[in-house]
Amino acid sequence: MVATSPVRPDAPLHEAVARITGMLRDAGVPSPAADARWLVQGIAGVDPHRHPDTPLPRAALPALNDAVARRAAREPLQLILGTAPFRALELVCRPGVFVPRPETEIVAGLAVDVAQRVGSPAPIVAEPCTGTGAIACAIAAEVPGARVIATDRDPAAVHLARHNADRVRRGVAGPPGFARAATLTVQTGDLLDPLDPELRGHLDVLVANPPYLPADDRDSWAPEVAAHDPDTALVGGADGHEVVNALLTLAARWLAPGGTVILEIDERRGADVAGAARHAGLSSIEVARDLTGADRAIVARRPV
Ligand SMILES: C[S@@+](CC[C@H](N)C(=O)[O-])C[C@H]1O[C@@H](n2cnc3c(N)ncnc32)[C@H](O)[C@@H]1O
């Protein structure tokens, strides 16, 4: 809890946002103005950009002060608010499970595009390392007929991904609900181990945002990451690429001929991963960039 109230009771929302922005800036939060706006909107339930002169509801003040103190202590915004936007969806976030990032929306979008073009009424998509279920939920919401199987070896992630999948299915996580005839199951286990062996050689898309950071990076992580994302969600072995390499090897075995693997990657390692994909026997290898121009994903196909 903060010692004093950062915002005076009944302050207009623009004043509340300005004061909170200053507090967050002083605490070293990287995007203080945006976070201040999201905190006010999330706690007060009113958009301060659209209603700048509306007074902050008195009843919201204690919760807002508490939320500001948590953000100033560098707790991720998504864990304070309990949700994260992801493409058209609003996903529930919980402590102990990796918070979905905006850059992963691009990876999910690549998978949606490929799955929509497969030409089958029921494209089969596997998403190991699902975390909150973000990528799998987006695909189930956007690809008619998709049969999506997600896995994670962390039971807390599986529990949360199932909860998010259920919210999407019921249409409470965003406007679309599940796309027509789409299905999504979430299973506990290592990478593709939980999948029905009969799917081997039949996956149309294998998409993942696996752990891909080297262990040596830990000292450079922002407090939001170091103290709140599980280490097992971030570190992909000593060199960072053990899980990426394992998935490329699995892709060569589990994809249907012509099927596509899409993996989020460390932006410093695009050329390395392209080489590993070649080594795994994949073809049509491309490194996709994100909106900042950084290498963000490897896209490759199992040869026909
Ligand atoms: C970087 S997070 C990505 C979560 C989610 N896909 C997203 O993009 O927000 C990686 C996830 O992979 C899971 N994980 C790590 N190693 C795994 C493995 N060998 N098999 C299955 N899941 C694994 C972690 O528990 C974590 O939830």
CA dist., res. 289 & res. 265, Å (int): 10
CA dist., res. 261 & res. 297, Å (int): 10
What would the two tokens of residue 13 be?
């929302």
| pLDDT lower than 70: segments of the chain | 1-6
pLDDT for the residue numbered 3: 41
The best mutation among 106, 127, 129, 229 to test binding of ligand 1, ranked by most ligand atoms within 8 Å of the C-beta, falls on 129
In angstroms, what is the span from residue 289 Cα to ligand 1's centroid? 21
Q: Whose CA is nearest to atom 10 of ligand 1?
A: 233
In angstroms, what is the span from residue 159 Cα to ligand 1's centroid? 13
pLDDT for the residue numbered 4: 52
In angstroms, what is the span from residue 257 Cα to ligand 1's centroid? 26
Q: Whose CA is nearest to atom 11 of ligand 1?
A: 129
pLDDT for the residue numbered 10: 85
Closest atom of ligand 1 to CA, residue 191: 20
What single-letter amino acid sits at 88?
A: A
Q: Whose CA is nearest to atom 12 of ligand 1?
A: 129
Closest atom of ligand 1 to CA, residue 243: 19
At the second CATH level, the architecture of 84-301 is: 3-Layer(aba) Sandwich (3.40)
In angstroms, what is the span from residue 133 Cα to ligand 1's centroid? 10
pLDDT for the residue numbered 7: 84
In angstroms, what is the span from residue 218 Cα to ligand 1's centroid? 17
pLDDT per position as a tens digit, 19-57: 999 999 999 999 999 999 999 999 999 999 999 999 998
Contacts within 8 Å (CB) and 24+ apart, 12-18: 12/52, 12/53, 12/54, 12/55, 12/56, 13/40, 13/44, 13/46, 13/48, 13/51, 13/52, 13/53, 13/54, 13/55, 13/56, 14/48, 14/52, 14/53, 16/40, 16/44, 16/48, 16/56, 16/64, 17/48
pLDDT per position as a tens digit, 188-223: 999 999 999 999 999 999 999 999 999 999 999 999
Q: Which residues line ligand 1 (CB under 6 A)?
A: 98, 100, 104, 128-132, 134-135, 151-154, 157, 190-191, 209-211, 232-233, 243
The best mutation among 135, 139, 152, 250 to test binding of ligand 1, ranked by most ligand atoms within 8 Å of the C-beta, falls on 152
The best mutation among 87, 127, 137, 153 to test binding of ligand 1, ranked by most ligand atoms within 8 Å of the C-beta, falls on 153
Q: Whose CA is nearest to atom 19 of ligand 1?
A: 190
Q: Whose CA is nearest to atom 24 of ligand 1?
A: 233
In angstroms, what is the span from residue 191 Cα to ligand 1's centroid? 9
Q: Whose CA is nearest to atom 13 of ligand 1?
A: 129
List the domain boundaries for the chain: 13-73, 84-301
Closest atom of ligand 1 to CA, residue 127: 6
